[in-house]
Amino acid sequence: MDSETSKQAGPYPPPLLALRGITKQFPGCLANDRVDLTIGQNEIHAILGENGAGKSTLVKIIYGVMKPDAGSIAWLGKTVRIASPAQARSLGIGMVFQHFSLFEALTVAENIALGLNNPADRLGLHDRILDISTRYGLPLDPSRAVHDLSVGERQRIEIVRCLLQNPKLLIMDEPTSVLTPQEVFKLFATLRRLAEQGCSILYISHKLEEIRTLCERATIMRLGKVVAHCTPAEKTARELAELMISAKLKQQTFGNKTPSLQAPRLVLDRLTIRSNQQFGTDLKDISFQVAPGEILGIAGIAGNGQSELMDAFSGEIPAGAPKNILLDGAPIGHDGPRARRRRGCAFLPEERNGHGAVGPMTLSENGFLSAHVRGALHRLGLINHKRSRDFAADVIKRFDVRTTGPQAEARSLSGGNLQKFLVGREVLQQPGVLMISQPTWGVDAGAAAAIYEALAALAASGTAIVLISQDLDEILLLCDRIAVIAAGRVSRPMPVKEATIERIGLLMGGSDAARPEEAHAVPA
């Protein structure tokens, strides 16, 4: 008898949630193919799978955002039909989404009130927020404006909003992607406390070590089907990844190279700029340099100046003076994006939809947008459509992008496949310097391995790479040195082999990232 069946047999209480034969079809895609899923009471359960495995569709069905084409849902042993998120919440299902839905100008209490369906639930809300946040170790001041809060505090708002409705099942989608290691530790303690007090957790994450640490059971999906169940603690992260992709992963060792003695390719010297966003972060006296063949990691939690650093490097925000940014010794601080690409820069921002790619445009057209200068995809002011198609086809082939071809629209690709195309688009231009932000955001283990190999090979060819990431495991695996950005200041880079998770976490929290000796020194 398998674990899914035995969970319901004998004297055991009925499972909290049981999905049977859930099927959901979209044009040209069977997103969920007769999926069975059982979540026990007081259980922390993970769903694992590659991009496009069907996880998001399944979760949206559970939360009432989508309706299944076939199959049944049982809640505490009784068949139910979840037609909307409001009905899901009435059953006791809460969800904390990866991207927060908060109004910056409103207070904590006002944001929470907007998410409560019943006006009676808003009575005494200030005191109830304090009670819940204290009881579960999620400190919040109901009167503070959201724009004054850290990303970790903003996540607490979403969790407390769910907890105020006394959920029996809490769904969490990539909950630690914006947290410091210390905040992750606190979140896990909260989730374990919730499970002990009767709330089951459905946990979705690409961070496999977190799954091993936190979750009691895991359901693994591939191509819309459930392919395995396991106890994560009994598997290595590598074994979990191989179950997800049905293939063996190559052993990867990157980073930790001997520091280069060559002249730096990129130098930032006391770069100070004002953010062009209303609630953005100004950059203050940022100084670092990157040598040929080196990968410098910039760690930090979201909202501490990462997007402004990318905008300053790409030329979307001019530097204070041309000499604040040097490329192979030449001042480029006042050059625009096209001029910087012509000199040998490449850049890929965090937001792939709308910033890295234009959804309604084809892959061929999106390739042209970035590579027309270095890839010679135009002549005499006219687009060379054949060369543009050939360039996109080369990216698709070399980076195993799952798509129908160069004429496919960017918005038709899954997030992971679009990310592989965008990374390939920049890498194949063989830039002198590449700055890339969140290269594997929302990308499964197989795609992430391919991206890592491409970046390592590019560095080996002499490119200087700046990798901005909130994933510490990624930085520690791939980079030679690491710096931390907090409140718009960057700490002095340190060799990865000398870095510790505890020190990086403290720097990410802003404890000493702004020390004068670190903020103003251009490392030798």
Phi and psi at 268, nearest 5°, equal: -105, 125
434 near 458, Cβ under 8 Å?
yes
Cα Rg, the chain, nearest whole Å = 24
Q: Which of 360, 373, 477 is nearest to 425 (CA)?
A: 373
Class of domain 3-92+167-245: alpha beta
Name beta bridge partners: 441: none
Question: 216: how many CB neighbours lie within 10 A of its CB?
Answer: 15
The one-character DSSP state at 65 is S
**Which of 520, 506, 47, 514 is closest to 269 using CA atoms?**
520
Q: Where are the alpha helices (DSSP H) in 107-150?
A: 108-114, 125-135
What's the CA gap between 194 and 29, in Å, rounded?
36
Angstrom CA distances, 361 to 25, 369, 409, stand at 25, 10, 5
Domain ranges of the chain: 3-92+167-245, 264-344+433-524, 354-430
Single pTM value for the model: 0.71
What is the rounded CA–CA span in Å between residue 488 and residue 303? 9
Tell me how far apart the alpha carbons of residues 60 and 56 are, in angstroms, rounded to a whole number. 6
Does 264-344+433-524 match 3-92+167-245 at the fold level? yes
pLDDT per residue as tens, the chain (524 positions): 444 444 444 566 899 999 999 999 988 789 999 999 999 999 999 999 877 788 989 999 999 999 999 999 999 999 999 999 989 999 999 998 766 778 888 999 999 998 777 777 788 999 999 998 888 877 889 999 988 787 678 878 888 888 888 899 999 987 876 677 777 888 899 899 999 999 999 999 888 888 999 999 999 998 899 999 999 999 998 888 888 877 776 665 566 666 667 899 999 999 999 988 776 889 999 999 999 999 999 998 777 899 899 999 999 999 999 999 999 999 999 999 999 999 999 999 888 877 889 999 999 999 999 888 888 888 888 898 999 999 999 999 988 888 889 999 998 887 778 889 999 999 999 999 999 998 887 677 777 888 898 999 999 999 999 999 988 888 888 999 999 999 899 999 999 888 888 888 888 877 654 343 443 434 43
Which two tokens mark 331?
């001042």
Q: Assign domain 264-344+433-524 to a CATH class.
A: alpha beta
